[in-house]
Each structure stands twice: as C-alpha cells, then as structure tokens.
Amino acid sequence: MARRKNQKKGPKKTFGTRDDSNNQKNWTELVKENEKWETYYKDLGVIPVEEWDQFKKTCQSQLPLTFRITGSRKHSKEVLQLFQEHHLPNLTNVTWENEVVKPPMALPWYPEHLGWQLDVSKSVIRKNEQFARMQRFLVVENAVGNISRQEAVSMIPPIVLDVKPHHYVLDMCAAPGSKTAQLIEALHAESDEPSGFVIANDADYKRSHMLVHQLKRLNSANLMVVNHDAQFFPRIKVDSTEGSKGPQFLKFDRVLCDVPCSGDGTMRKNVNVWKDWNTGSGLGLHIVQLNILERGLNLLKEGGKLVYSTCSLNPIENEAVIAAALRRWGDKVRLVNCDDQLPGLVRSKGITEWKVYDKQFQVREKGHENCLDSWFPPTAEEVEKFHLENCMRVYQHQQNTGGFFITVFEKIDTSTAETPVPASETAAAVEEQAQEPELKKAKIDTSSTASHIQKKEKLPRDANEEPFVFVDPNHPALAKCWEFYGIDDKFDKSTCLVRNATGEPTRTIYHVATPLKQLIVNNEDRLKIVYSGVKLFVSQRSDIDCAWRIQSESLPIMKQHMNSARIVPGNMEILKKLLTEAFPRYEDLTADNVDPEFISKTQKLSAGCTFIKVDRNDPSKEDLFLPVWNGSKCINLMVCKEDVHELLYRIFGIETTSKQNPKADHMAKKAQEAADASANSSKEETSEKEEVPAVTVTETSTAE
C-alpha cells in the first residue's frame, strides 16, 4: 500500500508495529522497564529490599487467567462440580513442549472454591485439546452469566464490603462492571427477590452503557445504572415519612468507591503503564479520589460500610487519601481491621511513611509551593489515631496477581453516642454542611463554579433518551397477563414500566424491584438513569388468547408467583428433544412416544407461551423451568442459542462448538428433507412452514 502523503518517514515504532519484510508478521514487545517507577518504589520502601527482584520479575510476567463461578445462581455448585469432575482431571499432569503445565487452582481465599486461577500461556489454551475444551466451557458458561472472567485482586473489594440481600448498595465508579456483578450476586445470594438493590454509577456515558452490557446477563430487577460524576453524585429523594420536615434523602448501607487511579497495579495486563508511568498521574488524581471518597461517606448510612480501593500502589492515591478523609470525619468513621477475613489471602498492611515526589520527580517537603498538605504522611499523633495499618496492600509477587489497595470504612452509629446531635439539625444535614467547603474548592480548582454543585442535582433528560413510564396495573394488557398466567397478588403489579413517551405497552414491558420503582418516580429530575429493570412481557402474535409472552430473563421471579395449567411437567427425554430439535411436530413426538403425558397436556392448551417444568430428582441439582411456544401443530423451546449450548452440556454432557446451533442444524436438515420430498406432500409441507415464521420472530426476540 502506498504511503499517505501526510505520513512521516522514519523508523517504525517498536510497540505494536508489524515488520512486513519477507511477508513475516513479527511483533516487537514493549520493553517492560521504567527507571522512574523503579526509583520511586525502591525509595518509598513499600516492597522489602529482599523481595524487590521477585516483585519486579512478577510485574514483567504474564498475568494468569482468573475466573469465578457466579455465587448467586442456585446451580453454581453444579457448574463447579462440572468443572472439577469433567475438566480439572484432564488439566493435571499435562505437558506442552516438554514442560509440565500448571493445572488450574482454586483461589485459596475465595469463598466456597468458586474462584479459580489458570497460569498457562494463550498458545497452550488454543492448541492443547484439553485446555481448548476448558476454554470452550468457560466461554459457554460466561455467555449465560454462570461464570465471570475477572482479575483475582479485583474480586476482593466486593467480598469485604459484605453485602446482604436487604442492603441498599451504591457502586460509585462501576464500569466495566465486574465488581458490580459481584455486588448483585451477593444481593441475590439467598433469594431471587431480595429487598435491597444496587445502583451502579459511572461518569462516562459510553462506559455506563458498557456496564449495562456486562450486567444484563445477571437478569436482576434490583439493579439501576446511572450516569453521574461520582464527586457530585446527587442526593436521592425517598418518600417523605409522616410528620417529617421536607424531603428525605436516601442513605446507603454499603458503598463501593473503586476510584479512578494511575493503575500501576495493572501493568501485567496493561503494558502501556510501563512507558507512561510518572508521578504526575497520582498527584493529579489525589483530589478527585478524595472528593469521591468524601461523597461516598456522605451518602453512607450510620452503621454502614464503605470500601475504598484502587489498582495503584502509590500512597498518594491510597493512604494519603484515607488519612485526609479521616482528618475531616474525625470520630464519625473508623477503619475496619480485615485480618480475620479472606483467610489464605497474602496481604501487607497499610503504610504510614512515604516521600512525596512532585511532577518534576523532585522530593518535596510539606509546605512547599504547589504541594497539597494532604499528599504528605500523617503526624505521629495521627498515625496512632488513624490505624492506617488496617488498610490492605496486595502486591503482585505475593500470590501471582495484579496489585491492589483496599480499605474498609465503617460509619459510626451516633444514635449510641454520648453527645446527641442538635435537635435543630439532622445528622444528614450536618454531614452535607461539612462536605460543602471541600467540594467547592475542588470545583474551583477544575475551572467551574460552586453554584454548579447545586445545579448538578437537576439533570433534564436528553431528547434521545427513553423515559421510564410505569403502567397502571389494571391496564387491559396487564390485566390479561395476570389472568392468563395465573399471577398471584404477592407479586407487586405496580412495578411494570415501558420505555416510550406514550406510556402504552406496545412491544416490551419491564419489571423493577419495588424500592427501585419509588426511586425512579421520585427522582426523574435528579437521576440520569441509563438502565433498570428486566424484560417481563414481550408482544407476540395478536391472534391468540394472550398477546404477551413472559420473557426468559424474568422467569426466576415469575415462576414463584404463577399458578397455571400452562406450567406442564416434563421429563428429561422431552427436554433433550426440545433442545436439539426446532419446532418438532406433535404427531412426530407422539409417534416417538416421547413423554406422552407432557404432549397430551400441552396439546390441550391454547396457542401461546407455555412452560416446561423438569424435576431432576436430585436435591443437589436445580430443577428446570423453561418457556416453550405451543403451536397448533408443533412446539418449540424458547431459549437463546447460548442457553441451548449451556444446557446441553450441563444437563446432558453434550459438547458443541461455537459454530454449532443444534436447533438450526435440525431446521436445515428438515428443510433438506422437505426439498427432497415427493410433489404429493408439498402442500402439507407448505402448510407446516406457514406456522414457523411467526414463532421464529418470537425466538429472535428472546435472544435479544
């Protein structure tokens, strides 16, 4: 290809460039060295001298692949058992190019053996048959939300946050969403309908939509994704209680502040850190990090917990931020000692002394011009009071991970304090007033105005954004659904919404958890909501009894509230048939004698959405509850391709490739048979095909 006119001549770059000479694709890796980084951390002494060589060597090596099995799913133990019994034995004592390959190992500190680490090269995973099978297993389970790939140290903050099903949780800087997923899993650990919720926020609009893509797999009605600057996260109004003065604002039981950072703990996977690292990044982020932490503490309920974390080892972004917050909050907060948590996790204590290098890489003393006092270490008196040793530092070489910093705050419950809060002011008002000066200063430093803090609370909806409009539970469309599917009154029928300006059910109806409904209704002018709710009903053919089909993602909730003849017990044989064949005809199923009772009961039902319930007769395994389309002549299992692959393998041990679609393959085979059939049967075949398109459209909607 000819060189563009504006392209400069000269030697090619060494990182990520290709040498096309002799048609060879040779790539030169970035040299993983940075003199300032090495000088800085050696001088700070955060890594013991005798461990430095091992630390640096680990930082320069490939980061292991780690994943966790989703703990909120009732069949998580089944997925774990499948991995341990069908894959792990074949991954032990494997040799590749005359070297023994390390087998996968359970992370010793992750609860219930649901976290795993795999320290092998990508070439082994691609080319070794057993590792390739395992990779396929991970891909399939990840696609349906049973497994999440996530860096090991990134799993720590949500665990120590200790989320319970009744908690109101805020993730202030959530994208890309792996930690948020853990929070949702903890919320659903005991029930598909927890009373708490998770609000996931990210300041970047595009990243907030990436967050939605990551979290939709979990199918939680207790999730809301919003798009705000975490430093100025708005107060959220709740219903005013009787006799209260003015609006009441939400306080969270748990807050996660995984703040933006310089990211030198990620240099094993983000190689650009090696060439880009400098002291200026940490210094520049310090105030932003402190503001986010301050805002998080402000929004935290008394008695609640907040986790502050970074993927940086720099004390300017870590202990310095923690110390600055402790100075401001005094006895209202304390740092939690987590030594008794996560047994098996090798970690170091927080530090209390460090040098401050400015952007010119010069060591500075406190009081120097252009240096913030909060950058510097605490005084001897503060060291004794703050207990910074309760902070956790996880270094790369300690257990072959990335680097991370984690601190757990607890907000003191002042209701048991000796000095009462003045009657003229609520505790919340005192905190709001206390936070204002710091926020104003930070906003002035970023070329804005203090008045903008108040304006940030009211955010008009963008013209391109779809609204969240709740539907009257007595609306004819909903009333028909309640009757048709036998939905009981324990289900909150006022939680159904649509996302169009008319407020009329047209194509999709969503469901959100009851407490989130109240927040959406009360904060239309405050919250920039990106996503909330799971699909409940999707429109289908209008020439049948009920024009709405229950969507698969809401079935874990709805099956608990349904009492209907449309739920038909089936056996494993009919389930396997439905997983591998698309639109099998009733007459063929009857001839094959596949679960006659299921076929008989289903045929008597009117056309439309029906459900198959399979009892697996094993208390250790979850029973199955899946949607099917009941036609006049045929039936079809309404699950997406990813679920088909996963169910075939988990239930029946049938492995498929990524290019395979068992039901589509069956359709192609049927089409070929039809093409080869005699002319005398062409009319009958045409009649059968006329029934398929309408149902096929419905299946596509399911996959959506």
Residue numbering of the annotated binding site for S-adenosyl-L-methionine: 173-179, 202, 229, 258
For residues 47 and 264, give the distance between their C-alpha atoms in angstroms, rounded to a whole number: 14
- 305: part of which helix (H) or strand (E)? strand 300-310
* Structure tokens, 540: 């289908």
3-state SS string over 616-644?
A: CCCCCCCCEEEEEEECCCEEEECCCHHHH
In single-letter form, the type of residue at position 681 comes to S
Nearest-10 crossing angle of helices 641-652, 572-580:
140
The annotation places the binding site at 173-179, 202, 229, 258
Tokens 């986790």 map to which residue?
307
CB 341 within 8 A of CB 406: no
Question: Which residues, 6+ apart, have CB-to-CB distance to 71 below 8 Å?
Answer: 111, 112, 114, 185, 186, 189
For residues 28 and 19, give the distance between their C-alpha atoms in angstroms, rounded to a whole number: 9
311 is catalytic: yes
Nearest Cα neighbor of 547 from 467, 612, 479 is 479
For residues 552 and 554, give the distance between their C-alpha atoms in angstroms, rounded to a whole number: 5
CB 135 within 8 A of CB 145: no
Chain-centroid distance, C-alpha 498: 24
Q: Which listed residue (59, 261, 311, 338) is catalytic?
A: 311
For residue 263, give the 3-state DSSP assignment. coil
Question: Which residues, 6+ apart, have CB-to-CB distance to 538 below 8 Å?
Answer: 507, 508, 509, 548, 549, 551, 698, 701, 702
307 pairs with which residues across the strands?
Answer: 256, 408
C-alpha distance from residue 587 to each of 69, 151, 267, 590, 633 (Å): 41, 52, 62, 5, 8
> Which residues are known to be catalytic?
311
